[in-house]
Each structure stands twice: as C-alpha cells, then as structure tokens.
Amino acid sequence: MNNGELALLNDYLVVGAILFGLGVIGFLSRRNMIVMFLAVEMMLQGVSLSLVAWGRFYNDLAGQILVLFIIAVAACEAAIALALILVLFYRRGTLDVIAWQDLREADQPPYAEEEFPEGPEEVPPRWPSLTPAGRPPETPRPQTDYRPHV
Amino acid sequence: MFEIKTLLVLIPALPLAAFVVTAALGKKVLRQRSHVPLVAALAAAFLASLGLLAQVYRQSQQAPDAGPAPGHESAAYEKIVPLWTWAVVGNAYTAGEGKLLAGPAESRDFRIEVVLRADPLTAVMLVVVTLVSLLVAVYSIGYMHGDPGYWRFFTYIALFVFSMTMLVSVSNFVLLYVFWEAVGLCSYLLIGFWFQKPEAAAAGKKAFLVNRVGDSGFALGVFLIWITYGTLNFHDVKVAPDPRAPERTVVYHDPADVQNANLAGTQFGGVLGRTTLDNMAEHPRLYHGAALVAICLLLMLGACGKSAQLPLHVWLPDAMEGPTPVSALIHAATMVTAGVYMVARCAPLFAASPQARQVVAVIGGATALMAAIVAVTQTDLKRILAYSTISQLGYMFLAMGTGTLLGVAAGMFHLVTHAFFKALLFLGAGSVMHATGGVIDIRRLGGLRRVMPVTCATFLVGALGLAGIVPLAGFWSKDAILQAVRQEGTAGSGSTLYAALYVAALFTALLTAFYTFRAFFLTFYGPTRIPPEAGRHAHESPRVMTVPLVVLAVGTVVVGALLEWNRVLERFLARTPSISFLEGAAHAAHSEPGFDWSIAAASTLVAVAGIGLAGALYLAMPALLEQLTATMKAVGLYALSAGKFFFDPIYSLLIVRPLEGLARLSAWADRVAIDGLVDRIGGLPPALGSALRPFQPGLIPFYALAMLLGLLVLLGTMLI
Amino acid sequence: MIDPRRIIMVAALLGAVGIWLLLPRGKVRGRLLGLALGAVGLGLLASQMPGLGDWVAQSLFAVLAAVTVVSAAAAITLRNPVYCAIWFGMSLLGTAGLLLFQGAQFLAVATVVVYAGAILVIFLFLLMLAEPGGRAPYDRVTWEGLVSAFAGAFIAGILSMTVTSVLAPRAGSIELSQWEPVEPPVAVTDQQRQQGILADNHMQQIGGALFDGRQPTREGQSPKPGYLIAVEVAGVLLLAALVGAAVIVGRGRQALSGPRVEPAGSPSPGGPPDE
C-alpha cells in the first residue's frame, strides 16, 4: 500500500466522519423539521465522501456508482419527506417536531415548554420616505404573514 | 325369578330407579305425582324383602344344627352375591412383623368388590327398612301435599332408601363406609329440606358435621382394620383353614356356591371371622388386645355419631327441624339404627375385647339415662320424641355392650320394635302438626283427642309400646335387654358395672313411661286448646295419613309377641355368620328357656308407676306438679334437664368458637397474605410497565436519541 | 509521544463542547467561545491527519475540507433556518470540491445539481411557505443539546480514532517528505483502449461501469460487475417518489376541509380576520 493512498483515504474518512457527526448533532438537537431533514442530507454527504474514498482506495468504481444511487435515492426521499412535512405543517401550523406527541403512552403528560426565550426584537423596517406629493398612494390591504394557500 | 340373588339386587335397585326417575322427571313432569315412582318401588321392595326373609329363613333352617358340645361348632348361613369389582390395588398388603399373614412371601391385593350378602341380620334389617319407608312414603303424600318442593322430597327419600338398603346389604367395610356417608348426606338434605328457614339449614349443617366427627373415627377404625387384618371384607370365603385356631365354624352355603367352590366346612376368613373367643392367650396371632380395643372404640365413635349417642348426640334434637316424615323415617327407624346394625355386625370384634364392650355399655346406659332426664322437661313434642329416640338407642347399645348372643339379639329385637312404635309416634306428632297448623308446643295444645280420635288412639298404642306395657312390642324387647344386662351383672367380668347399668336401665324405663305419657296427656287430654295457627285445619288427618298410623299400631301390638314366640328372632339371628360366633363363647349364656318373671314384673311395675305418676301430676294434681317443679328447680335438676345437660353451650365454647376464630384467622390470612401476595405479584407487570412507560413519550427527537445511543453502544463495543 | 488517539479524543471533546455552545440555546452568549473551541478542536484533529505528500494537494485538500466542515457546522447551529439552508449549500459546494479532488467529476456536478439545485431549493420553498415572517420560537431552542453534541462527537471521534490508528503507518507525526506521492487514478493504457475500454472521461467511465462493468483494472484484480438492474430500480423508485409526493400533498389538501388547527392570527378563508 502506498502511503499516499493510505493518507488520502484516512483524510477523506475523517472528513466524512466529521460531516456525519455534525449531521447527527443537527438531527438530534434542532426542532425545526426542515433543519432536521437538512442534517439528514448532511449525513448522506458524509457517507458519500467515505464511499468515494473507499472506491478510490480499492480502485473500484462501485464506490462512485453507489454514490450516484445515493444521490438518486436522496432526491426521492427528499421529495416524499418534504411532502409529508408540508402536510404536517398544514395540520398544526407549525414546523415544530415537538408538536407531534400523539404516539406517547396513555398516561404520559405531554412535553410542554414553559416559555420560549425571547427572540431578537423585531426591528421595524425602515422604508425610504418620499416627499409627499399628491394623494397618498392607496396601500393595498395589509398582507398577513400567513398565506393559507400556496 | 324369586331366588335370593335377584331379590337381593332388586331391593336396593328399585329405590335407586325411583330416585333417578323422580330426579329427572319430578320437577317438570310428575310434580304433585312425584310420589308414584317411589311408592311403587317401595311396595315392590317391601314384598321382595319379605320374600328374601322367607328364603333366607328356609335356607338357614336347612343348616345342620349345632353339635353336641356347646361352644365349639355352630351353624350359620350366608349367601354372597358378587356384582363387580370396583377397585383393585395389587400387592397392597404384604406380610411382616406383627401382621396377620403367614409368611413373608404372602401379599394381598386391596380389593373393593361390590358384593351383597344375604344372611339373617341383613334380611331382618331390610324388612324393617322397606316397611317403614313404605309407610312413611304413603304418609308423606298427605303431609307434604302442596309443598313446592314435593318432588325434591321424594327424590331424597328414594336416595335415602337406596343408601340404607345398600348399607345393610354390603359385605365389606369400605362400601359400608360409602353408604354410611350416603345416608348422612340424605339426612343433611332432608333435615335442611326447607332450607330457606335458617334454623333448618343450620340444623342440617350441624347434623352433617357432628356425623362427620363420628365418621372420621369410623374411617380410622377401617384403616386400623386394614392394617391389622389385611382385608376389609366381613367374611372372606376362600381361605385355607388355619389349624391353629381352635374354633371351627361350619358354614352352610348355598348349594350352588358349594358346588362352585367346594366350600363345605370352610373356616371363615375376613375381618369378622378371625376373632376367637376362647384360648386367646394361646393364639397371639389371632388379634385381640390393644389393636382390637382401638378398632372397636373407633367403630363405636362412628356409631355414636350416626346413632346419636353421648357425646355426639347433639344433632338429633335439632334435626327435628326437618319435616316430620323425615324424622320418623330417618331419625327413628332407619338411619340412627345404622350404628346399632354396625355394632351388631361387628359383634365378634366387640365380644373379643371386654374393655370395648364395657365402654359401649356405659355409653349406651349413660345416654339412655341422660336423654330420659332431659326429655322430662321438654315442651316440644318432637323434641321429646327425639330425646326418647336417643334414649332407646342407648338401650340398644347397652344391650350390644353385653357381648352375648342374648344381648345382641335383644338389641336387634328392640331395634325392630322401636322402629314400629317410634315411627308411629312421630307420624302421630306429624298428624297433630298437620291439624294445628304447625304448632307442636305441648303447652299450647290440649284435648286433641276430641278433634282427632284416630291419631289419639294410635298415639296411645305407640306410647304404651314405648313404655313397655304387655303385650305390646316394647315390653318384650325391653325385657330382653334387661335380662341380658342382668345376666352380665351377675356373672363374668365387670359384673358390678353391669349391675349398676341394670339399675340405671330400670330407672330410665320409669322416666320413659313418665315423659311419654306426660306428652300424651298434655296433648290429647285436658281442656281442648287449639292454637290460632290452625285456622280451619283442626280436624282429623286424611286417610292417606291415618292408614299408615293404623298399620304401625297393629304392628306395634303384634310384632313383639310374634318375634318372641319361641325366641324366633334370637335363633334366627344366631344363624348369621358373625353373630354365630357368640353362641360358642365360653362365658355366654343362652337365654334360659322359659320366661323370666322377675324382670317382667319389675319392668311392668316401673312402667305403670311412670304412667300413673304422669297422669296424676298432669291431669289431676296441678298443685303437686307446681311443688315438684319448684323443688326440682331449687335442687338444680330442672335447669340441668331443661338445659339439655348444657352440651350445646359447652361444645360451642370449646369447639365451635375456637374453630370460628381459626376460620376468621384463616380468612384474614387468605385475604391479606395470600391475596396480598398474589396482588403484589400481579402488580409487578403494571409496575414494570409504568417504569418503562417514560420511554415512549411520543417525542421524535427522544426516539432518535435513544436509537442513536443504542447504536453508539454497539459501535463502541465493536470499534474500541 | 502522546498517543494520537488521545489527541483525537480530546479534539472530539473540544469540538463537542464548542458545538454545544454554538447551538441555539435561547441566549446569544457563548457563541464566540464555542467558535474558538471548535476551531481548536478542528486544528487538533487536523494535526493528526497524515499529510498528502504534495503541499499543493495538501493545502487544496485542507481548504476544501475546512470549507465543508465549517459550513456544515454553521448549517446546524444557526437560528434562522434559511441561513441554515444557505450554509448547507456552501457545504455542498465543499463536498463537490472534495469529490472533484478524487477525480469524480460527474458526481461532483451531480451533487451540485441535485442537492444544491433541487433539494435545497425545495427546502427554501417550504421555509418561505412556513415562516416568511422570520424566526419561530422553536428555532431558538434545542432539545438535549449537550447529549446530542456528545453523541455526535462520539461518533466522529470513534470513527476518526479507529481510522487513524489503523491507517496511519506509525504513531507520531510523519514527516511530509517521507510521504510518497499519491498515485493518480488508473489511466487507461493503450492496450485497454484498443480493447474497447473507454478513455478516462469520467462520465463515460461511470456509464461503462454501470452498464457493462467496464472498468480499468490493475493487474491482478478481478473483473467488475455491472449495475443495470439497480439503475432500473432506481428509475422506478424515482417514479414512485414523484407520484407519491403528488398524492400526499393532494390528499393532504383534501383532508384540510375537515377539522384543522388554525394557528393564531391567521385568517380563515373568506371570513373576517380574527385578532
């Protein structure tokens, strides 16, 4: 075995492991469903790197071919997952994964946060102001933040 | 058609068939006609038993007479009818030290064979049982008329008659025990017939439990018999002659049996055939001594329970809660005589152990005296008759306790006559109850002879019979008993005991006459008082009830003289294989031919004195009665008598309360400890589940974390 | 010398703490410290990696790896989910670069096109749909941050330790000059070209390997199989996913006519807005 090959493999595997680990952390600790899914995709990236490195090491293109398949499958999975997340969002109106606790045991109390930490203050946007001329423009009906339909 | 075998099987089979039919069809189909199968079966069984008696008599008379030297050979007759083998345990009894079998290689099976026997004792008992049952069944048609449990009554009576006839017909101890229990069961069912009444249910339970105490003694006796003798049959026919035994009894078997088994001149085996009466010290292998005394006492315990002797007599007065025909049939004539029958059957055993015999006699005499004392102050007519029954049974056991042929025959004679007049008295009391609407307290009745003359007349006949006035039945049988006791009192071992018992028996006869006629005069004489419960019922009973009364009255008059003529009964019973041993006993004395005038005079005097005293006190001189009562109360005798010698409170305190406490303790332990343990074990899975439940909070990140941690453990073990 | 595994373990721990501090925990404190710790950890880990021999290659690889890892860390620790998505895209670019470094050009481009171009865009669509107003409260908290950080660090650390201890030739640091250069991917020899094995056009290589198993091999290696059936299955899978996604969303819409939990402040269609 060539030292260089070993070193290359080693480096790639470590990077892949780090990506995978970061994906795990993201999946476990975030509560936004989309960010959780993002972390899953990150894990897939780490695995892809590892696979390509192994394929290079053994001089077998199977590693890269598997990564190709991973990309295809990840695409399918993303489609379905995001469709499901959309439907779930319509149900509860939130992307919070904690909102879905219905599968708990019968006499377990639901997990509820006492209070959320405050976010940064909403800075009202400063719009450029024009010198008033003529009639004030008709402002359309205020847009609500929440659009029920896409 | 009418050979002994058929008749013997038919007599129990007919009531059994009636039982099955009435049980199956009684409730829906037969209803108020439920008596039909039973009465028909009992009539047929009675005729069959008469036929059996005739056949057995004829066959037994053909047996050769006893040899010239008294005490060495006697003749007996039996006919064995084997039906089927119930159970066999192979090689269950092996010879060994202290056991009866000859050598080390001999061993025996434990066999329970359903075998019926026909011999004089059985035949006599069967006639008595079937006749009284038939008359009681006919009487019940009228007495139980309209009762909602009519069919149930006759079902139980049928079962009882079947059990009783089988009891006297079987030929080994195991089956005897089986039917012993069966009659106890029927007694329980019938006492508690009106089970909604709490006193009746309690009385039924008490009867059964007290019987149980006696039955446990009986069972222990049977176990001891098995260990000692290696067989449980009364007489094992096929036994090789044992040359060491000095007694040889010639048995005349049925010719068919003789041809089959070449049994002429065979010595008896079996439990009742191994006991010798002479030269016991020379033959230690033939059992006597401590084992035999123990066996006899245990058997006597069983008899005490069944026949209501001291100290297990407490159930019989309470058993009067049952319908009066039940009292007449079971607690006067048949079931309570099962104990007497058993002691008569085991006469050889008792005869060979003087200590047991004396215990039996003492028990009988003491019971007779005690019951008579109690009966003097009772106010319930049926209770008076119940104590009277206990007293007369005491007489019978007293007679059995003499251990002589005369005594045993006298006891059986008294059994027969007592069946007649006691059943008559009870049925008469039932007739009174029928007329007065269920009131049987003699303080509230009076002068009923004007209202119900037939009942009065038959009751008088029964009372005279009970008191022992010549020529009625009680006179002859009571005299026979007194004669047997006095003979033992003048000769042989323990003569002082028997002499004392003789005096006690005479005094008891006085009391018997007194309380019987006290009841009679208070009920039927004096001013006519009819309690208001009678309504419009105060009239003579219907024919279906009075005809049995008349039949029994005729029997009371006739039977005594008939059976004493030429000592017919005694000689007939002497042909029973087990009783025939007694004839050869050295110390036994045949009853002298001829009539014993002194005893007759004594007993008649005593009876007339009792009747006179009762009549004087209760009819003519109420003032004297008051004085006498006050004196008795002052002395304390009145309280003793009215409190029934305080047996019930003593038992309650010594036995019932501790057992109740134990039962409560057990219930507490069961509830708290055992149920608690089970509950706690049963609570383990839910507890485990509760502990594991927080693992399913429904939170997806939690699930993911758990899954990952598991994966990490795996990874760690594989990579590190 | 200190066992490299110990150093890696320490690096992993430092990285864990750093990530934990970086995670959105409601208050903005500690992010700088987390950043520092994360950098230190990453540096420690990188010091244990064997060098690639050629300093050009080494530095190129280092840059690409750093971009990937830092972007990934940012993608999971920022509060605004849109920012997360954007940084994820950056991480994807880093990954694509690393794939290019390995000579897998087609894969690199496919990654960018499919992941960054399609999946990421769908993410952004959904995010825009769901919370165009800005930050939701649940984005500001984490669930069991410490345990997650240590779990992830454990995984990365374990793998790194194992890999390094197996693959690094000897304990201790390796002089760069002692490394031999990496061999380039196997080139197609003229003989093989005449036999019909394709030139080293990566797409053609992948295609040949997929359908026929035609791969350039070294001496002594066994011939490789093709993956035709897998391709077909993948196609079917894509079709199923397409149809499935449409159905799910369509059915989900129909079910909306039933009971539905409205978030506060949203207007019911056609009705007056409730305050």
Partners of residue B699 in chain C, C-beta under 8 Å: 143
Per-residue pLDDT tens digits for B638-665: 778 877 888 888 888 888 899 999 999 9
Best of C21, C42, C44, C102 to substitute, by most chain A Cβ atoms within 10 angstroms, is C102
CB-based contact, B720 to chain C, within 8 Å: yes
Whether the per-residue pLDDT at A34 is higher than 80: the answer is: yes
C254 vs chain A: nearest CA distance in angstroms?
A: 11
Asked if the bond preceding C132 is cis, omega within 30° of 0, the reply is no
Out of B4-13, B328-337, B380-389, B585-594, which region has the weakest mean confidence (pLDDT)?
B585-594
Question: A61 and C205 in contact by Cβ < 8 A?
Answer: yes
Q: Token pair 């007779």 is at which residue?
A: B368
Question: A10 and C49 in contact by Cβ < 8 A?
Answer: yes
Instruction: Give the CA dihedral B307, B394, B585, B417, nearest 10 degrees.
Output: -80
Instruction: Supply the ipTM of this predicted assembly.
Output: 0.82
Work out the mean pLDDT of chain B and round it to a whole number.
82
Per-residue pLDDT tens digits for B174-229: 999 999 999 999 999 999 999 899 999 999 999 999 999 999 999 999 988 887 77
Per-residue pLDDT tens digits for B257-313: 444 444 444 444 566 765 443 334 444 444 556 778 888 899 999 999 999 898 899
CB B548 within 8 A of CB B138: yes
Which residue type does A23 have?
G
C254 vs chain B: nearest CA distance in angstroms?
A: 26
**DSSP characters over C56-113:** HHHHHHHHHHHHHHHHHHHHHH-SSHHHHHHHHHHHHHHHHHHHHHTT-HHHHHHIII
Whether the per-residue pLDDT at C250 is higher than 50: the answer is: yes
Question: Closest residue of C to B714, CA-based?
Answer: C155
B713 vs chain C: nearest CA distance in angstroms?
A: 10
Q: What is the model's pTM?
A: 0.67
Question: B712 and C151 in contact by Cβ < 8 A?
Answer: yes
CB-based contact, C60 to chain A, within 8 Å: no
Whether the per-residue pLDDT at C240 is higher than 80: the answer is: yes
Question: B701 and A110 in contact by Cβ < 8 A?
Answer: no
Cα–Cα dist A98/C143, whole Å? 9
Partners of residue A24 in chain B, C-beta under 8 Å: 708
Task: Report chain B's C-alpha Rg in angstroms.
Answer: 30
Query: Within 10 A of C83 (CB to CB), how many other CB atoms are there?
Result: 13
Nearest to B705 among C148, C161, C162 (CB): C148
Question: C151 and B715 in contact by Cβ < 8 A?
Answer: no
Which of C 162-221 lie inside 8 A of A, CB atoms? 163-164, 167-169, 178-183, 185-186, 205-206, 209-210, 215, 217-218, 221
Asked if the bond preceding B311 is cis, omega within 30° of 0, the reply is yes
- The more confident residue out of B643 and B522 is B522
CB-based contact, B715 to chain C, within 8 Å: yes
Partners of residue A28 in chain B, C-beta under 8 Å: 701, 704-705, 708
CB-based contact, C143 to chain B, within 8 Å: yes
In Å, what is the CA distance from B500 to each residue of B361, B366, B433?
11, 11, 40
Instruction: Return the partners of chain B (3 or more C-beta pairs < 8 Å).
Output: A, C
Question: A100 and B698 in contact by Cβ < 8 A?
Answer: yes
Question: C158 and B716 in contact by Cβ < 8 A?
Answer: yes
**DSSP characters over A64-116:** HHHHHHHHHHHHHHHHHHHHHHHHHHHHHS--BGGG--TTS-TTPPPP--S-P
HSE (side-chain half, CA atoms, 13 Å) at B137: 31
Cα–Cα dist A93/C256, whole Å? 12
Nearest to B694 among A28, A98, A108 (CB): A108
Cα–Cα dist B63/B84, whole Å? 28
Which of B 691-720 lie inside 8 A of A, CB atoms? 693-694, 696-701, 704-705, 708
